[in-house]
């Protein structure tokens, strides 16, 4: 889903839940990117990465649901 940056900023300012979801999504995105840059990933890190990816996707779905009301 392509999101207009003006709409994104408006929703972030107006909706506390969205703001928190977006913050957590960004944090998870950075963690996944860091794990992706790791040359040798342990099985524990792989599980952690998958967990972060699933949670990130869930957060994205919730954010899109909020955006659909604007």
How does pLDDT run across 47-58, given as a tens digit for each residue?
999 999 999 999
Tokens at residue 13, please? 């300012």
CA atoms within 13 A on the CB side of 54: 6
The pLDDT, as a whole number, for residue 7 is 85
Tokens 């949670």: give the residue. Answer: 55
Residue-wise pLDDT tens digits, 1-46: 567 788 888 999 999 999 999 999 999 999 999 999 999 999 999 9
C-beta of residue 64 within 8 angstroms of C-beta of residue 4: no
Residue range(s) defining the domain that contains residue 25: 5-67
Its pTM stands at 0.84
Tokens at residue 70, please? 């604007």
Query: Which is more confidently placed, 4 or 68?
Result: 68
Tokens at residue 12, please? 């972030």
Instruction: Provide the domain count of the chain.
Output: 1
């Amino acid at each position: 889903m392509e999101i207009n940056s003006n709409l994104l900023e408006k929703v972030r300012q107006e909706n506390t839940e969205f703001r928190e979801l977006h913050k957590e999504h960004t944090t998870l995105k950075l963690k996944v990117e860091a794990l992706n840059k790791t040359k040798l990933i342990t099985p524990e890190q792989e599980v952690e990465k998958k967990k972060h990816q699933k949670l990130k996707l869930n957060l994205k779905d919730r954010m899109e649901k909020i955006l659909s009301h604007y």
